[in-house]
Structure 1
């Protein structure tokens, strides 16, 4: 299953980990990413610590834990390639605020990542 179909059809919990330029780490719950046509991932962010960290350190890790028994999911190692502020594309992609302009935070960022590596939730992804 490709990543677009995976994230469209799989429920679970996502955690984005970032670090600032001094290596101080943060992790935060994030929605499933949007998989773009070119294979990059897009995440809608507010002006909070994860977004702040990405301004000085473009590297991040996203862990997705599938709902259900056991430990299934994915770990994605990412590098930020660009971002857009208050982009019209945000409204198109938004799952949380579709059509509710009055409830929107003042500034939202669309952060685009390339995927550097993909691993399963547990293990290296290589046969022993």
Structure 2
């Protein structure tokens, strides 16, 4: 997992988290690079929206990451949810874009931890 940590710490790019609800309705949303934790899990900051609801319902997600470089380089990660934290100190420490929203001071955020089940390149198998 240290390779994955180094990759996401040093590689800028565009991420898409894909989820589905219990009925199979699919959703995709733009997300920041995940954080690779010391235990090897991935942590993703999520707002209280559709993607989060889907992950809680199914415990599954897929993260596609395209590097900001020429060509099509990146990763596809199949994920299983392990646990979550709500509005914790760790969440705000890791969050790259979190700030106090004065218009929505009660906005809920979650730090969701995932196990990486499978890692594939962006193109090919």
- Same fold, judged at TM 0.5 (above): yes
Q: Describe how 1:61-76 pairs up with structure 2 within 5 A.
A: 61-76=62-77
Q: How many angstroms apart in 2 are the aligned matches of 1:105 and 1:78?
A: 28
Q: Describe how 1:10-21 pairs up with structure 2 within 5 A.
A: 10-21=11-22
Q: How many residues align structurally?
A: 122
Q: Tell me by how many angstroms 1:101 deviates.
A: 3.2
Q: Tell me by how many angstroms 1:41 deviates.
A: 0.2
Alpha-carbon RMSD across the aligned residues, in angstroms, is 1.4
Q: Give 3-state SS (helix, strand or coil) of 1:109's partner.
A: strand
User: Are the equivalent residues in 1 in contact too, given 2:72–2:123 (CA < 8 A)?
Assistant: yes
Q: How many angstroms apart in 2 are the aligned matches of 1:40 and 1:82?
A: 10
Q: Describe how 1:38-53 pairs up with structure 2 within 5 A.
A: 38-53=39-54
User: Are the equivalent residues in 2 in contact too, given 1:46–1:105 (CA < 8 A)?
Assistant: no
Q: Give 3-state SS (helix, strand or coil) of 2:71's partner.
A: coil
Q: How many angstroms apart in 2 are the aligned matches of 1:62 and 1:21?
A: 18
Q: Describe how 1:44-123 pairs up with structure 2 within 5 A.
A: 44-97=45-98, 100-102=99-101, 106-123=107-124
Q: Give 3-state SS (helix, strand or coil) of 1:101's partner.
A: coil
| Unaligned 5+ runs, structure 1 | none
Deviations 1:50-98 (A, max 9, x none): 001112111110000011211100000000010111111111101113x
User: Are the equivalent residues in 2 in contact too, given 1:34–1:93 (CA < 8 A)?
Assistant: yes
Q: Give 3-state SS (helix, strand or coil) of 2:90's partner.
A: helix
TM-score normalised according to structure 1 size? 0.90
Q: What stretches of structure 1 move > 6 A for 4+ residues in a row?
A: none
Q: Tell me by how many angstroms 1:102 deviates.
A: 4.8
